[in-house]
Structure 1
């Protein structure tokens, strides 16, 4: 299936009302969890390693809640294709937005950090609607170029610019000393070529990206966390901003990396079902 076919199918499906898409999500839950058992072992291993103090029954409850939430993410991502700005603002509430505006008003750039938690894709839209200033979304390209192109077009609907990880430096240099937002999804798994820094994360030695810290120290811009949580009502979220680092020069090497990963860890422990447990986050072991 080529790019045009994927884009057409996405558009037509996105025209379906939310209630019908959520009915599809209900069906997908049973298929993913009970029929195809999508990455059940990966999720089970990740939860067991992350929460060794929890019982098997407690981890099973988290797993089922995660699989119940995952298809909601899928249908909501599809719906984004035709979602209006007013609907985006209604479905994801901004909390502590002044944490971002105060830095932009001072003429600074903002190094945003988030994770694969809650509806991070919808968060791109809400961030895009916050300001007319440049907004860079740093991403790791998909292996399928057609899907990569379609989803990048989708994410840019409200003015964001998608920037591959390996091109971030040239974009940041162009915007140096100008107010803008650069958003990093910082919980992805680096290759051995991209990072050699390990830290303890969710009870496990974890290879982590240090790019957020390097860019913050280079630009001297503040680091602001974007916590996208889910409200009780299905399909509704909040985006809470917290300034983690005001002056990057005040921190030792790898300290900023530790700070934003600790924030992510605390967020996950609070409501673990909204993190992407099906991701093979710990596949990069330390080389001997």
Structure 2
């Protein structure tokens, strides 16, 4: 069915969905990068979020895991979350500027030395993050630092947008592995060659392990820990954190996760991401239905997402 859909003519709905995105990106790219980024954030926060249902999704998730959050803080996050999303979106579609930005971004943290040592020794690395800050900044930064970075991603549903999305992430760096049998096989081959694989693990996964995130049950993919255990790879949490100016970043590499079992190691990753999100609440994508569990007798619906386990 997937193959048949790929070969079918582009639908009117796909054209209608894609047209405003294409026009928006084209218009924003007329601006200098220093203005393009904040303008994209403002448009996402003040134009896209109110009409797309994004604000409601953010409030629903905050109600579920942070019920004691004050009204002022809640209102701030309803503005900041889509602002960060808009900024990250246009940064992705500005690959030359993204590389310049990544080249100016400092790398720090207790795991940086272990990461560099693994590269020198030819040991595979699984670098794990979430939809937080801008994960493409650390991916581009690692490439500039000499790492051979591969990344798993989920193709977008809209084929017109997906073509542009794939071109943008390929411009940032390759190889890229689309989720599926072939992509998974290529990903494993890349890792077995002693290279670095970047994964995101902060989306609901139907077949995931029931772990905890923000104190609530959250079905979580254990694939990062599985790969680390199977191929003796270093498992390292890594984050590109947007700075108060809204344009610069710092990349933090945390201590490698100790080798135990896949669920314990994955819970360490969840806890690591939770701590980063709590310190920078506006930089995580609260529009995800991360906690897809029963609420008041009804199962939470899945919302649009960029795709788990990858950029």
Q: How many residues matched?
A: 277
Distance in 2 between the 1:138 and 1:181 partners? 11
**1:126 matched to 2:137:** no
User: Residue 187 of structure 1 is aligned with which of 196, 202, 205?
Assistant: 202
Q: How far is the alpha carbon of 1:117 from its aligned partner?
A: 0.2
Q: Which residue of 2 aligns with 1:165?
A: 179
In structure 1, C-alpha distance between the alignment counterparts of 2:236 and 2:57, rounded to whole Å: 31
Deviations 1:245-286 (A, max 9, x none): 25x3xx034111111111011111111110001122223559
- Matched-pair contact (CA < 8 Å) for 1:48–1:59: no
Alignment of 1:236 onto 2:236: no
Aligned-partner SS, 1:217: helix
Task: Please name the residue that 2:223 is paired with.
Answer: 211
Q: What SS is found at the alignment partner of 1:239?
A: strand
Of 106, 118, 122 in structure 2, the residue corresponding to residue 103 of structure 1 is 118
Please report how far the alpha carbon of residue 238 of structure 1 lies from its aligned counterpart in structure 2 after TM superposition: 1.1
Task: Identify unmatched segments of 5+ residues in structure 2.
Answer: 1-14, 300-311
In the TM superposition, what are the counterparts of 1:1-288 in structure 2 within 5 Å? 1=15, 10=25, 13-21=28-36, 22-33=38-49, 35-36=50-51, 38-80=53-95, 82-83=96-97, 85-90=99-104, 92-96=105-109, 97-131=112-146, 133-166=147-180, 167=182, 169-175=184-190, 177-190=192-205, 192=206, 195-245=207-257, 248=259, 251-283=260-292
Rounded to whole Å, the distance in 2 between the matches of 1:76 and 1:196 is: 31
- How far residue 50 of structure 1 moved from its aligned partner, in angstroms, is 1.6
Name the CA shift for 1:243/1:16 in 2 (closer, same or farther; >3 Å): same
Could you report, residue by residue, the CA deviation over 1:99-125 in whole angstroms, capped at 9, with x for unpaired residues? 321111122010110100001233332
Cα distance per residue 1:204-257 (max 9 Å; x no partner): 2111111111111110111011111111222111111123325x3xx0341111
Q: How much has 1:24 moved relative to structure 2? A: 4.8
Q: 1:196 to 1:125 in 2, by over 3 A?
A: closer
- What's the C-alpha RMSD, in Å, of the aligned pairs? 3.0
Per-residue CA shift, 1:147-203, capped at 9, x if unaligned? 22322221122432111233454224424553310010111221x3xx241112113
TM-score (ref. length: structure 1): 0.83
Once the 2 structures are TM-superposed, how far is the Cα of residue 146 of structure 1 from its aligned partner?
2.9
Query: Would the alpha carbon gap of residues 210 and 12 (structure 1) be closer, same or farther in structure 2, given more than 3 Å must change?
Result: same
The unaligned stretches of length 5 or more in structure 1 are: none
Q: 1:67 to 1:86 in 2, by over 3 A?
A: closer
Distance 2:287 2:158 in 1: 19
